[in-house]
Chain A
């Protein structure tokens, strides 16, 4: 009930391509779904977040798509750049606790 499943584990994308990372959750009580970017040796930084009353949210090159009925949400990174190479975590929250997905290591090659 508390798990957030994330896929793929790793992703290789060419510069300019679209990176897509998917997450699925089980607990329908979750009401906040953020995505975080983490570079080696650093703490995670918030990229973008969505609430379940919205199906899509876009901020710059980053878009979250949210499917409430399927209990799935995804991160799309448009025009991927080498500087986007990092580990990405989805997460879900209710009553303060953030539950993290397993992470996706993204590598963007020039």
Chain B
């Protein structure tokens, strides 16, 4: 089945530094990739949608200059948290949609990245 690899699984960084999270579709081409943020015991909140080769579309209230998304190929999207602060600490999850999924929509999720900003 479709597999999405997300790295790193955990990262601790100092306040003011930037962190990059990678999301790769291993065995399929992803027309669209999504980035979510999840706080403890809460639901997944969509941050942005990215299509290969075009600018990401950010959800209302998400700072596009803080959360930089690059979707350079059909198998790779990256999320960079710039000038991270403790309030950016969260669980970040990517999802990729298989362009060949047809009726099933084909959303596959990565295993998530736990970001802690100290």
Residues B107 and A98 in contact, CB atoms below 8 Å apart:
yes
Write the B95-118 contact mask toward A (1 if CB under 8 angstroms, else 0): 101000001110111111010000
Check A44/B109 contact, CB under 8 A, given A49-B104, A89-B43, A102-B43: yes
What's the tally of chain B residues with a CB closer than 8 Å to chain A?
A: 25
Interface residues of A in 88-106 (CB under 8 A from B): 89, 93, 96-103, 105
Would you call the interface of chain A mostly helix, strand, loop, or mixed? Answer: strand
Residues B105 and A100 in contact, CB atoms below 8 Å apart:
no
Interface residues of A in 55-78 (CB under 8 A from B): none
Q: Give 8 new A-B contacts, CB below 8 A, not counting A43-B4, A43-B109, A43-B110.
A: A41-B91, A43-B95, A44-B93, A89-B44, A93-B107, A96-B49, A97-B34, A98-B34
- Chain B positions within 8 Å of A, measured between CB atoms, are 4, 6, 32, 34, 41-46, 49, 91, 93, 95, 97, 103-105, 107-112, 114
- Chain A positions within 8 Å of B, measured between CB atoms, are 32, 34, 36, 41-46, 49, 51, 89, 93, 96-103, 105
